[in-house]
């Protein structure tokens, strides 16, 4: 642990910055592409919440698994799916990570542990618990991560998944991305117990903590401890990350009437990427010029991904029946 309170090297810190910048830039370009009609279907961006995916996934191995949500582009990128494969999937192209058949809410790359984004709110919790159970049965030291929003915590899946993981000491990390709203419903109106970590610890006797989800160092530290506990056979942890999405629920949706301009502006001032940039410079892990160079590199990577998506072919109509039935093996 150094005087600035982190045990991470400058290289690791810059990797976190780079991932957050990559998610931000990719999301902004995907939103633009959606507005231009190039991305069919709904597109839920992760702008404002990047610290959570980046902080958690940096603590994982490639053979650890992640179950994601409808707001999952950031989880996919942080787990190692290439920006080209994510962008091409949203464009519906054959070169996308799901062959252009899935789109935004069906991003899959199981070979590197991205077990899927999902349009259904809640199941990631049960899938995460199930994967943890399989690791336990197999005697493997892999861990499983379930990302979910505040909108999922009064779903039956939350109670069933947490209870199962707790009684069997499963190697699961439950990551609640509490961005204060489920579409336009404020979390404070949806539950009497707004403290999700309390639900986990009091109701299920699970290790649980609440962190600032816009502080990547806090998220990383919490995830690192949770992963170590899980690998050591000490059971699951719930990490509640307080955060905020600064774009509408989904691209093209109205964004007024349920939250105030003042609240939005206040959270924009707590931007996770700008905060980390200031901290890195203040603690001499990087200069402004270093960060500008990283930003330029990220911009070039994302420009390349969008161009790749744009110029890739759509799936061949001849293959329409592929992947419908298992071919065994
Ligand atoms: C089981 C289920 N119920 C309802 C919906 C409709 N729906 C889509 S997104 C959403 C809100 C989810 O809110 P939250 O879990 O907080 O995630 P956020 O969008 O805030 O990231 C809802 C209710 C759904 N997709 N699945
Ligand atoms: Mg929410």
Ligand lying nearest the CA atom of residue 73 = 1
Say if residues 23 and 73 touch (Cβ distance below 8 Å). Answer: yes
Residue 317 has pLDDT above 80, yes or no: yes
The C-alpha atoms of residue 66 and residue 182 are separated, in whole angstroms, by 21
Total Cβ atoms within 10 A of residue 202: 12
Could you identify the atom of ligand 1 that is nearest to the CA of residue 187? 16
Q: Which fold is adopted by the domain 10-252+261-310?
A: Rossmann fold (3.40.50)
Q: Where are the alpha helices (DSSP H) in the chain?
A: 10-35, 50-57, 73-79, 83-90, 123-138, 156-167, 187-190, 196-198, 204, 216-231, 261-268, 272-282, 288-311
Confidence of residue 6 (pLDDT cuts 50, 70, 90): confident
In percent, the amount of the chain with pLDDT more than 70 equals 99
| Dihedral angle computed from the Cα positions of residues 59, 146, 268 and 189, in that order, rounded to the nearest 10 degrees | -150
pLDDT digits (tens, 9 = 90+) for 264-315: 999 999 999 999 999 999 999 999 999 999 999 999 999 999 999 999 999 9
Is the CB of 74 within 6 Å of ligand 1? no
Hey, which of 44, 104, 154, 183 would you mutate to test ligand 1's pocket, going by the most ligand atoms within 8 Å of its Cβ?
A: 183
Closest residue by Cα to atom 11, ligand 1, is 182
pLDDT digits (tens, 9 = 90+) for 72-124: 999 999 999 999 999 999 999 999 999 999 999 999 999 999 999 999 999 99
The C-alpha atoms of residue 252 and residue 224 are separated, in whole angstroms, by 37
pLDDT digits (tens, 9 = 90+) for 241-270: 999 999 999 999 999 899 999 999 999 999
**In the 8-state DSSP scheme, what is residue 61?**
-
For residue 57, give the 3-state DSSP assignment. helix
Non-local (6+) Cβ contacts of 125 within 8 A are 67, 146, 148, 152, 155, 157, 158, 160, 161, 162, 174
- The domain segmentation of the chain, as residue ranges, is 10-252+261-310
Ligand lying nearest the CA atom of residue 52 = 1
If you measure from the C-alpha of residue 178 to the centroid of ligand 1, how many angstroms do you get, rounded to a whole number?
Answer: 12
Say if residues 18 and 298 touch (Cβ distance below 8 Å). Answer: yes
Q: At what angle do helices 156-167 and 123-138 cross, to 10 degrees?
A: 20
Closest residue by Cα to atom 7, ligand 1, is 121
Which pLDDT value is given to residue 175? Answer: 99
């Amino acid at each position: 642990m150094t005087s600035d309170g982190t045990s991470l090297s400058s290289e690791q810190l810059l990797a976190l910055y780079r991932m957050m910048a990559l998610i931000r830039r990719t999301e902004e370009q995907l939103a633009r592409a959606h507005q231009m009609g190039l991305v069919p279907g709904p597109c839920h961006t992760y702008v404002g919440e990047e610290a959570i995916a980046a902080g958690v996934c940096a603590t994982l191995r490639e053979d650890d698994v992640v179950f994601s949500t409808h707001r999952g582009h950031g989880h996919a990128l942080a787990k190692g799916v290439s920006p080209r494969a994510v962008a091409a999937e949203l464009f519906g192209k054959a070169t996308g990570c799901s062959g252009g058949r899935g789109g935004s809410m069906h991003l899959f790359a199981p070979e590197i542990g991205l077990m899927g984004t999902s349009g259904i709110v809640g199941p990631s919790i049960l899938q995460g618990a199930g994967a943890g159970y399989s690791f336990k049965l197999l005697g493997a030291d892999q861990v499983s991560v379930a990302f979910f929003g505040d909108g999922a915590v009064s779903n039956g899946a939350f109670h069933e998944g947490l209870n199962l993981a707790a009684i069997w000491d499963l190697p699961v990390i439950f990551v609640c991305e509490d961005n204060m709203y489920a579409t336009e419903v404020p979390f404070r109106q949806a539950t009497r117990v707004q403290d999700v970590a309390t639900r986990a610890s009091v109701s299920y006797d699970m290790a649980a903590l609440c962190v600032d989800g816009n502080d990547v160092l806090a998220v990383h530290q919490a995830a690192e401890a949770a992963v170590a506990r899980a690998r050591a056979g000490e059971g699951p942890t719930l990490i509640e990350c307080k955060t905020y999405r600064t774009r509408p629920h989904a691209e093209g949706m109205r964004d007024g009437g349920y939250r105030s301009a003042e609240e939005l502006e206040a959270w924009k001032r707590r931007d996770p990427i700008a905060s980390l940039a200031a901290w890195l410079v203040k603690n001499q892990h990087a200069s402004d010029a270093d960060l500008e160079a990283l930003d330029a590199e990220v911009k070039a990577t994302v420009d390349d991904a969008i161009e790749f998506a744009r110029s890739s072919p759509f799936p061949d109509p001849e293959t329409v029946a592929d992947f419908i039935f298992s071919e065994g093996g």
